Amino acid sequence: MKSLRNSVQLIGNLGKDPEVKEFGAKKKASFSIATKESYKNAKGEKVEDTQWHNVVIWGKLADVAAQYLRKGSEVCVEGKLVHRNYETDKGDKRYITEINVNDFVMLGGKPQR
């Protein structure tokens, strides 16, 4: 059984086309996906909740993501949560949580160009 200690699976839609950067021989594709759920509140009103998740894909999978994924594409990602921080040019500390993807599955129809 693969490790379940830090494992995430999400199905959502891309908020933008993947952004690809190269670091020597390594490639990185990054984008955000939106997950939606709806429920009824105490008053019986339907409430939709959208959560945005930062996604990072490395290596050959980054090439596949860049080639086939587009804004609005539905995708299932599997990976692990990574928390990191960095300092801005002004010296402000920023914190970010990302999903470092091990695998993904394209859902829905053929991507629009």
5: left (phi over 0), alpha (psi -120 to 50) or beta: alpha
| pLDDT given at position 85 | 95
Report mean pLDDT in 10-residue bins for the chain, 113 residues.
Answer: 81 96 93 94 93 96 94 95 94 95 86 55
3-state SS of the chain: helix, strand, coil percent to 5?
A: 10, 60, 30
Q: Tally the domains of the chain.
A: 1
| pLDDT given at position 89 | 94
| pLDDT given at position 111 | 54
Does any domain span residue 113? Answer: no
**Buried residues in 48-82 as b, exposed as e (16+ CB within 10 A):** eeeeebebbbeeeebeebbeebeeebebebebeee
| pLDDT given at position 60 | 94
Domain CATH code at residue 80: 2.40.50.140
| pLDDT given at position 5 | 85
Does any domain span residue 41? Answer: yes
The token duo for 44 is 């019986």
| pLDDT given at position 4 | 74
| pLDDT given at position 112 | 56
Q: How many CA atoms lie within 13 A of 19 on its CB side?
A: 9
| pLDDT given at position 13 | 96
Record the pTM. 0.82
Distance between CA atoms of residues 53 and 46, nearest Å: 23
Domain limits for position 19: 8-107
